[in-house]
Amino acid sequence: MTTTYSPAPRLTPSDTLKVPPFAVVSGAQVRRVLQGREQHIVELVQAAYRLHAAGDSVNPPSSFLRLHDRPAARIIALPASLGGETRVDGLKWISSFPRNVTAGIPRASAVLILNDHDTGYPFACLESSIISASRTAASAALAADWLSRHRARPTHVGFVGTGLIARYIHTFLAGTGWSFENIGVFDVDADSAAAFRCCLEQSGAVGRVTVHDSAEQVIRLSDLVVFATVAARPHIHDPAWFAHSPVVLHISLRDLAPTVLLAATNIVDDVEHCLRAGTSPHLTEQLTGNRQFLHGTLDDVMAGRTIPPPGRAVVFSPFGLGVLDLAVGKYVYDQVAESGELHLVDDFFHELNRYG
């Protein structure tokens, strides 16, 4: 068999590539850029979804580092490449250590590495727990909007799980024009539920905030339900809890049993990504032996190819795509660079002469 080899094109002097300077962007800088810009971040996420659906991205499966001596913990690598005007490659490296919460520090921590499109050199390391939470919340707010367009707009929201992601989702809902008559709250940790209620009330959230005794109460009383837990396996099994046809943002991915999904309209962000790693849709595929329970992607809904019927619960299960982190992270980098506040690391790349 003959293998045809195509050499890389030779560079002309005008094509000379340069090593970019390397910058570190702190969490404080990230926060300053993103705070109050919820609508713009949702628009960035929507554009990234559309680029991904059009094939102008590379988004391999995430890699999970699981730790034998710490079975509840994990560290995940999300490599990706995004085209369009963004034109950037990169990697999010995010850890989830649930025991951190008992020590008073956040469960998740993350960094995002951005790579130059032309040279492949990393040019920035950004604190990314805020970027990750923001892109997750923006995705949730985007889905809530599109999945509600052919039914009565929800006025009662319920949160099952009350950590940082729940807080960000409420912030993004409020920041994109949502207001609610009632906000229901439940967490297996009563102190977390009470703290979340206090946080919402102090932030000036519109609507009465009520802490409930069970997830069932929250679900039955809400027409928009947000799951933001650290559940490792399904704990919600009864489809009757969703008989009132709510919009369900299944952000934590592993809360709902297959019986619930089979009774609902199911929308994902990416089919191949979502049907792996023991997610609720993955378990449903294993149970049924097919994917017929899936009705489309969020891009299908945005393009009008899929219209969720109003008389049935609709569940959005997003695996979380690395291209979203790139879209938001590159925006943060550009804003910090434009402000002249980049923290450059001099001589980060030292051996730049091929022969020394």
Q: How far, in Å, CA of 266 to CA of 268, rounded?
A: 7
CA distance 331 to 81: 15
Q: 52: alpha, beta or left, given left = phi > 0 and alpha = psi -120 to 50?
A: alpha
Radius of gyration of the chain (CA): 22
Q: Is 110 left (phi over 0), alpha (psi -120 to 50) or beta?
A: beta
Separation in Å, CA 166 to CA 200, 208, 235, 241: 11, 17, 18, 21
- Could you state, in order of their start, the residue ranges of all structural domains in the chain? 20-131+322-344, 137-317
What region does 304 belong to: left with phi over 0, alpha with psi -120 to 50, or beta? left
* Positions in the chain whose pLDDT score sits under 50: 1-9, 11, 13
Q: Which one, of 127, 109, 44, lies nearest residue 321 by Cα?
A: 44
The CATH number, out of the four listed (3.90.650.10, 3.40.50.1820, 3.40.640.10, 3.30.1780.10), of the domain defined by the range 20-131+322-344: 3.30.1780.10
Q: Roughly what angle, to the nearest 10 degrees, separates helices 38-53 and 164-175? A: 100
Per-residue pLDDT reduced to its tens digit, 305-351: 999 999 999 999 999 999 999 999 999 999 999 999 999 999 999 88
Tokens of 117: 């499109």
pLDDT for the residue numbered 351: 86
Per-residue model confidence (pLDDT) at position 5: 40
Q: Are 196 and 185 in contact (CB under 8 A)?
A: yes
Burial pattern 246-272, b for ≥16 Cβ within 10 A else e, equals: bbbbbbbbbbbbbebbebbbbbbbbee
> What is the model's pLDDT at position 15?
61
Pairing state of beta strands 57-58 and 70-82? antiparallel
* Fold agreement between 20-131+322-344 and 137-317: no
Q: Locate tokens 């799951």: which residue? A: 227
Q: What was the pLDDT predicted at 146?
A: 98
Enter the pTM of the model: 0.92
Query: What's residue 3's pLDDT?
Result: 38
Number of Cβ within a 10 Å radius of residue 85: 9
Largest pairwise CA distance in the chain? 72
What class is the 137-317 domain?
alpha beta
